[in-house]
Amino acid sequence: MIRLRICAPDIFEGDAVGNHCLGIARMGKRLGYEISIYAKNFEADDDLIIPIEDLFGSVNESDILLIAYSIYDPYLDALLKLKCSKICYFHGVTSSALLNEFDIVTAKLCRLAIKQIKKFKSFDTIICNSKYTSLALENIINPERLLVIPPVFLDMATYKRVATKYSRRHELNFLMVGRCVPHKNIEFAIEVLAEVNNSLKQATLSIVGSTPNYNYFKFLINKARKLGVLSSIDFTGVIHEQALVNLYTTTSGLLVTSKHEGFCVPVLEAMSFGSPVYVLGGSAAQELCLKPEIFLDSDCPSAWAARISAEVNQSKLVKDEDACERLARASIVLNLASDSIWLSALDDGKGV
């Protein structure tokens, strides 16, 4: 039995990269591979994950090593020297310029990662999470060597949940899903909410996700207070999958104002329930959208508010045909990450 060894610097359930690594492990088991998962940082009581130091010295030539890459990896040089087939799953690297103000440590790691990407030439196979992410490698790797497989699986919890038909509640409630970190540009969504309230006087915003950066979170609270919308915002933290499903199926629209997304799983999740999506152009998130008019290129809060207000007034947010189109689009994207596509990629990785 061929062993598939999956590793990343950090693997935590609930984090996008960690969730994907665990999803790859489940997929590998379905395809008949022997699975091992390695990380430097992980939950101490997680018996599925092995300290990455234990990987070295145990690899043989028939193994496949899959490295999830999204930030500087201090083990990359040593991993590339291992005598086995090596695959990189590239999630993209956030620009340090988006992090400097609130997270100088991560910003430094992202700068180091950009330099480290040059070493990707040593991989046998490189898989990117989106076409947008693959563009970062076009001057380093022959495009013919790059595969694109979305970082999702049909067995992920949200896609497995049974949802009722999309039906927006009468009051306006917008949704954001993801960690509260600087490059997500959540302050812009707060500005949009304030603009919407100036014209409609009834919108609220639910922000679902962890708040690991205290200074940025404090900045958001102060921003909302200054704009007079703090009482209209609910920072829910991490919530149970079914609670998230309930929000997806009743929201007036998912707001994605991030300045960098290598993929953006919440967009696909929202569309898989037929929910409206509003996406700031310029990142991989727009690749998921059904048609150009679904996302907004403008970074002007008043333009977003005008667009949303017009759609609310015209009742466009609840069109059944729009919901059906979103569901169909989500199904197409999910199928691009099927087990059969992964099997072909893993076969390429081991030189079959």
Residues 206-227: tens digit of each pLDDT = 999 999 999 999 999 999 999 9
Count Cβ atoms below 10 Å from residue 126 Cβ, excluding itself. Answer: 22
Name the pLDDT band for 352 (thresholds 50, 70, 90). very low
| Whether domain 158-333 has CATH 3.90.1150.10 | no
Q: How far is CA 345 from the centre of its chain?
A: 21
Query: What are the distances in angstroms from CA 17 to CA 22, 71, 188, 227, 283?
Result: 9, 10, 25, 34, 17
Name the residue among 202, 232, 225 with its Cα closest to residue 308.
202
For 302-312, what is each residue's pLDDT tens digit? Answer: 999 988 888 77
**Is it the case that residue 316 has pLDDT exceeding 60?**
no
**Is it the case that residue 31 has pLDDT exceeding 80?**
yes
| Cα 27 from Cα 149, distance rounded (Å) | 13
Query: What are the distances in angstroms from CA 325 to CA 153, 274, 291, 320, 322?
Result: 20, 8, 10, 9, 5
Name the least confident of 51-55, 122-126, 202-206, 314-318: 314-318
Name the pLDDT band for 169 (thresholds 50, 70, 90). low
Over residues 239-249, the mean pLDDT reads: 90
Query: What are the distances in angstroms from CA 26 to CA 59, 118, 158, 326?
Result: 21, 30, 16, 27
Name the pLDDT band for 319 (thresholds 50, 70, 90). low
**Is it the case that residue 166 has pLDDT exceeding 60?**
no
pLDDT score of 314: 64
Position 341, amino acid:
I
pLDDT score of 347: 86
Three-state secondary structure string covering 129-194 = CCHHHHHHHCCCCCHHHEEECCCCCCCCHHHHCCCCCCCCCCCCEEEEECCCCHHHCHHHHHHHHH
Name the average pLDDT for the chain.
90
The answer to whether 201 and 172 are in contact (CB under 8 A) is: no
Over residues 7-28, the mean pLDDT reads: 93
**Which residues touch 211 (CB under 8 Å, ≥6 apart)?**
179, 180, 217, 235, 237
Over residues 36-44, the mean pLDDT reads: 91
> DSSP state, 345?
H
pTM of the model: 0.92
Q: Which residue has the tokens 């990359």?
A: 76
CATH C-level class of 3-153+337-349: alpha beta
pLDDT score of 315: 58
pLDDT score of 104: 96
Q: Which residues of the chain are in CATH 3.40.50.2000 domains? A: 3-153+337-349, 158-333
Name the least confident of 16-20, 67-71, 254-258, 304-308: 304-308
Count how many residues are written for the chain: 352
| Cα 344 from Cα 31, distance rounded (Å) | 11
pLDDT score of 299: 82
**Is it the case that residue 249 has pLDDT exceeding 50?**
yes
For 95-141, what is each residue's pLDDT tens digit? Answer: 999 999 999 999 999 999 999 999 999 999 999 999 999 999 988 99
How many CA atoms are closer than 13 Å to the CA of 195, on its beta-carbon side? 17
pLDDT score of 137: 95
The answer to whether 245 and 208 are in contact (CB under 8 A) is: no
pLDDT score of 1: 83
